[in-house]
Amino acid sequence: MEQTNFQLKQQKTQSNDWSARLHHATRATREDWLGKGISYLCIGVIILVVASMLWFITSKGIATFTQNHVSLGKFLTGTDWAPDQGKIGALPMIVGSFAVTFAAAIVATPFAVGTAIFMTEISPNKGRKLLQPVIELLVGIPSVVYGFIGLAVVVPFMRSVVGGSGFGIISATFVLFVMVLPTITSMTVDSLRAVPRHFKEASLALGATRWQTVSRVILRSATPGILTAVIFGMARAFGEALAVQMVIGNAAIMPKNLISPASTLTSQLTTGIGDTIDGTLPNNALWSLALILLLMSLFFNALVRVIAKRGQLKHER
């Protein structure tokens, strides 16, 4: 007779040792061990990646200070960047990065909030059918394409309007503005949608106009969410490499104005890391820039958390 491993079938004929039968490991038990093993392994891989990323970049990034004995203060405040001559003042890049980040956020936020208000309060229908795809497409455009358009359109435009080479912080701001716009908009939309409907209805019922309702009730109660959105946008701008590098001019000097070539942490890294030799001061100095990027990314992350916590507390009260 054909053997079948189907235990249900056997139960009717087999011995009555129920204790053994109910304690026995079966296919399902083994499957569960296997499944647990697989999924723990996968999450373990991700944790390992994150941990080694933090570890490697940190250990490389502090070599400038531990091996080359550059003082941290000099690194952060020095304005001369010529690593092959031993001058490693990172301030120009730090200032450049912060300048383009803040500038882009300042320009993008009104546009993002306006668009979000349109999508949630003025015309949800057009918002869904027209603007949602617009936002998604803007997110989808790769950053090298933004860089290319910056180079082909924005830089010549700036050159003709304000003179100079056209490369500089203002061009980078322009490009980053478009790049962070969809990020800030879609997150702002989420936070506006999360405002309880009765807030809005109560305000309208009291005779407030739409704008009064939006500005006094909706925007106010969505403020933590909008703030989070802006920080996400800033994080994206701070970390963006290629698009900025293509339009900022990459001069590692303190930016004196918005229209002369400057550089950011990311642009300096992109242009420099391939030309330096591992273990030398110029190379280590670049890794220190990468470490700043990493720390800033962690900082933005923490900031988002703090705001989220605050927002929660406010709601509970």
Partner 1 sequence: MNAKRTDFLATVIINLIVAAVVGILVFLLAYILISGLPHVSWTFLTGTTDAFSGAGGIGVQLFNSFYLLVLTMLISIPISLGAGIYLAEYAKDNWRTSLIRSAIEVLSSLPSVVVGLFGFLLFVVKFKIGFSVISGAIALTFFNLPLLTRNIEESLSAVSRSQREAGLSLGLSKWKTEIGIILPVALPGIVTGIVLSAGRVFGEAAALIYTAGQSAPVTNFADWNPMDAASPLNPFRPAETLAVHIWKVNTEGLATNAAQLSAAASAVLIIAVLLFNLGARLLGNFLYRRVTASK
Partner 2 sequence: MLKQYSFDETAVQTFDDSTSLAMKTENLQVFYGANHAMHDANLAFPKNQITALIGASGSGKSTYLRSLNRMNDGIATVTGKIWYHQVDINEPTVNIYEIRRHIGMVFQRPNPFAKSIRENIVYALRANGLKDKAELEERVEKSLRGAALWDEVKDSLDKSALSLSGGQQQRLCIARSIAMEPDVLLLDEPCSALDPISTVKVEETLLELQKKYTIIIVTHNMQQAARVSSQCAFFHLGHVMEYTSTGNMFSNPQIPVTQDYIAGSFG
Residues binding partner 2 (CB under 8 A): 4-9, 16, 18-19, 21-29, 32
Q: Which of residues 208-247 bind partner 1 (CB under 8 A)?
A: 208-212, 214-215, 235, 238-242, 245-246
- Nearest distance from residue 1's CB to partner 1, in Å? 25
* CB-based contact 239:297 (threshold 8 Å): yes
* CB-based contact 61:294 (threshold 8 Å): yes
* CB-based contact 76:93 (threshold 8 Å): no
Binding partner of residue 23 among partner 2, partner 1, none, CB cut-off 5 to 8 Å per kind? partner 2
Q: Which of 84, 136, 201, 275 binds partner 1 (CB under 8 A)?
A: 136
Comparing CB distances to partner 1, the nearer of 85 and 212 is 212
- Nearest distance from residue 88's CB to partner 2, in Å? 55
Q: Does 56 bind partner 1 (CB under 8 A)?
A: yes
Q: Does 145 bind partner 1 (CB under 8 A)?
A: yes
Cα–Cα distance for residue pair 13/35, rounded to 1 Å: 32
Comparing CB distances to partner 1, the nearer of 80 and 223 is 223
- Nearest distance from residue 34's CB to partner 2, in Å? 13
H or E element that contains 249: none
Token reading at 261? 């070539």
Q: Which of residues 63-102 bind partner 1 (CB under 8 A)?
A: none
Comparing CB distances to partner 1, the nearer of 9 and 56 is 56
Comparing CB distances to partner 2, the nearer of 16 and 125 is 16
Comparing CB distances to partner 1, the nearer of 1 and 22 is 22
* CB-based contact 118:131 (threshold 8 Å): yes
| Per-residue 3-state assignment (H helix, E strand, C coil) for 150-185 | HHHHHHHHHHHHHCCCCCCHHHHHHHHHHHHHHHHH
Q: Which of 83, 89, 147, 249 binds partner 1 (CB under 8 A)?
A: 147
For residue 72, the one-letter residue type is L
How many residues bind partner 1 (CB under 8 A)? The answer is: 83
- Nearest distance from residue 20's CB to partner 2, in Å? 9
Instruction: Tell me which stretch binds partner 1 (CB under 8 A): 15-23, 73-81, 83-91, 269-277.
Output: 269-277
Token reading at 254? 């303190």
Quick check: helix, strand or coil at residue 262? strand
- Nearest distance from residue 138's CB to partner 1, in Å? 6
The closest of 221, 300, 296, 234 to 57, measured between CA atoms, is 296
- Nearest distance from residue 18's CB to partner 2, in Å? 4
Instruction: Tell me which stretch binds partner 1 (CB under 8 A): 10-18, 82-90, 192-200, 263-271.
Output: 263-271
The closest of 275, 274, 276, 252 to 264, measured between CA atoms, is 252
| Burial group, residue 226, by CB count within 10 angstroms (0-12, 13-18, 19+) | buried
CA distances from 232 to 40, 188, 286, 289, 311 (A): 30, 11, 25, 21, 16
Binding partner of residue 4 among partner 2, partner 1, none, CB cut-off 5 to 8 Å per kind? partner 2
